Amino acid sequence: MAKVIAVVNQKGGVGKTTTSINLSAALAQRRLRVLLVDLDPQGNASMGCGIDVENVDHSAYDLLTGSAYAENIAVKDENLGFDVIAGGPDLTAAEVELMESDQRDKKLAEAMNVLQIVYDYVFIDCPPALNILTVNALVAAQSILIPMQCEYYALEGLSALMNTLADLRNTVNPNLKVEGLLRTMYDPRSNLTKDVSKQLEHYFKDQLFETCIPRNVRLAEAPSHGLPISQYDKSSRGAIAYNELAKEITRRNRKTLKNQNYSVSL
C-alpha cells in the first residue's frame, strides 16, 4: 500500500509545487513507484512535468467526480519516471460539484483506494488555500508535508494550518500525521532565515526535516522546461537537496515500506 502524503501550505509561493515534482522524481530514481496528483486548478505541477493540461484525456476532476476509472486517469511517461494525475481549470468545476455532494470531503479518499495498491508513494499537490479540494487531500492522506520559507508571516500561516490539522484529526482523519516541515528557498546568509529556522527547530524538533532546499536559479528554471530538476540539471544544488530529502524520507519510512512490499509480494 502506498504512503499518501499531501503537500500543503495555504500560502502560495513557498515551493509546494516544486517540492511535489522534484521529490516525486527523486524517489522514482530510487526505483520506487510514485504517483503525483495535481489537485490545483492552476495545474502548475502538471505543466512542470511537461504535461499540457488542456489536452489530457483525464484529470483530477475525473478522480474526484468518479467520471472515469481511477486506474485509467494517470499520465504515464517512462522518461519522467513517475505517473501524474493532471490538474487544471476543470478542478474549479469539481469544487462546485463537491459542495453539492454527500460526503464531499471523502471523494478523493474513496478514489485512492484502487491506486494505493499500485504505488509506493502518492504525493498530492494541494492548492494554496484550505478549500474543499485541500480538505479532500487531507482526508485521503496519511501525512502532510509542509514546505515553508523561513519568514515570520510563514509562522502565522503554519499556526492556522496546524489548527486545521487538529480539527480534521478530531472529525474525519484521526490518523493524519505531520510527515515533516521543509525549509525552502533557504538562504543561510540571512539573519531572518537563521532566526526563524531556530524557532522551527525549537518548537517542531523531530517534525522538521534536516534537509533544507536552497535558493537556486536552476531549480527555478526547470518548470519552464517541463522537467524535474534531476533531469534539467542533476548537478545543481537544488537537485542535490531534493535527493537528500528523498533519502531522509525513505529512511523514516523504510520499515513501513518493507512491510508493504512484503505484503504485496505475497
> What's the pTM value of the predicted model, to 2 decimals?
0.93
The DSSP 8-state label assigned to residue 83 in this structure reads E
For the cut 90, the answer to whether the pLDDT of residue 255 exceeds it is no
pLDDT in tens, 53-101: 999 999 999 999 999 999 999 999 889 999 999 999 999 999 999 988 8
pLDDT at 119: 96
- Give the relative orientation of helices 90-99 and 132-140 as an angle to the nearest 10 degrees: 80
How does DSSP classify residue 78? Answer: T
Phi-psi domain of 36 (left: phi exceeds 0; alpha: psi -120 through 50; beta: other): beta
The mean pLDDT value for 15-19 works out to 96
Q: Which pLDDT band holds residue 262 (cuts at 50, 70, 90)?
A: very low
Tell me the average pLDDT across 208-219.
Answer: 96
CATH number for the 3-257 domain, one of 3.40.50.300, 3.40.1390.10, 3.60.150.10, 3.40.605.10? 3.40.50.300
Per-residue pLDDT band at 161 (split at 50, 70, 90):
confident
Question: How distant, in Å, are the alpha carbons of 69, 84, 210, 246 from that of 113?
Answer: 12, 17, 32, 24
**To which residue does cell 537556486 refer?**
216
Predicted local confidence at residue 18, as pLDDT: 97
Burial class (CB in 10 A: 0-12, 13-18, 19+), 159: exposed
